[in-house]
Homo-oligomer: A and B are copies of this chain.
Amino acid sequence: MCTVTCIASINIAVIKYWGKRDEVLILPVNDSISATLDTDHLHAKTTVMTSSTFKEDRIWLNGKEEEIKNPRLQNCLTQIRKRARNSNQWKVHICSENNFPTAAGLASSAAGYACLVVALAKLYQIEDDITSIARSGSGSACRSVMGGFVKWCMGSESNGADSIAKQIVPASHWPEMRILILVVNDTKKKISSSIGMKRTIETSDLMQHRIKHVLPNRIKIIEQAIIEKDFKTFAEHTIKDSNQMHAVCLDAYPPVVYMNDVSHTIINFVHAYNEAVNEVKVAYTFDAGPNATLYLLEESVPEFMGVLDHFFPPGINLEQYRKGLTFKEVINSQELFNKINTTRQAPGSLKYIIYTKVGNGPKYLEDPNDHLLNKEENHIILSEYL
């Protein structure tokens, strides 16, 4: 019997993956770039176990047994076994859970598939690139297989062999980078990102222009900005790429809309703040939902947090509202508030916020107490939600 447990975290794209050129292999129409977040705050945890006594492959997700026949899961298992250096043909039991509520609308599948593939790779002693296997589970999962800033190169081969993720820089290269996730209350029915990107690529007249004439240059610029730690360029292109992804979604037929009025209020607020301090200190980006993710440097955090609380007053007590890293509180001047040309929102327009940073990628947990499966009972306990 052999057991491996691993944690991996979500990643937040600054150049968006939006559109597949192959739906089965999950091959994208463009390169994308993201930062993988610290595993301390938003992670999936997965235990994989093989034993000669297991009769079949099985999987438990967030405490509930799920269908192992899921095609994307099968993609991963098949490829892992094909690449296995040992000839272990034992069945596998998989148990995975997130330490954050899935209802928050934070894309959890990237963390989940990255974690699964990293755990299985150890179990099956695979040592070469596994990002293409994670990709075949959930596209952007390939970027969560490593830490720091990561580029998913779209590749050109039809079998997807060269559609893999590569680290641009490790987290230690730009240790000041911080991430703030603003979780927005939302009641709208959600269009899945798979359906949204399919409809966009099939119906948006602007999409091809984005892919062919905007992204190649933007990718180079933002990669260089990350290497040079040029926050202004990084922030401006992060903002532009988020808005452009949502623009091509709006250009689809019928239009695909993920942001809501609160999202747009956050956008206005960030631009108004940057203008008031006469410097691009904060960047925003939105995925297939209304939540905002902000990129900013550690030195900007105390002032910005005070300003955020002023214009978006918490609707619950601060202990429940603020999750993740701590920071030193400061008192902002009324003069600063006055300079920020935006409207103060009613309390509670943000559900809660998570303050985190760029992380080092997946981590193996060696302590047997961390395993989610043991020999006797397959499924042990759920860790506490964040």
Contact = CB atoms under 8 A, between A and B. Distances in A.
A105 interface: no
Given A205-B213, A205-B244, A260-B261, A250 B250 contact: yes
Interface string A13-42: 000000000000000000000000000000
A341 to B, nearest CB: 9
A268 B188 CA distance: 11
Number of identical monomers bound together in the oligomeric complex: 2
Interface string A218-258: 00000000000000000010011001101110111111010
Nearest to A274: B254
A305 interface: no
B236 A253 contact: yes
Contacts of A244: 205-206, 250-251
Contacts of A247: 206, 247-248, 250-251
Nearest to A342: B189
A267 interface: yes
Interface in A240-295: 240, 243-244, 246-248, 250-255, 257, 260-261, 264, 267-268, 271
Nearest to A265: B188
A251 to B, nearest CB: 4
Interface in A299-318: none
Interface of A: 189, 205-206, 209-210, 213-214, 236, 239-240, 243-244, 246-248, 250-255, 257, 260-261, 264, 267-268, 271, 343
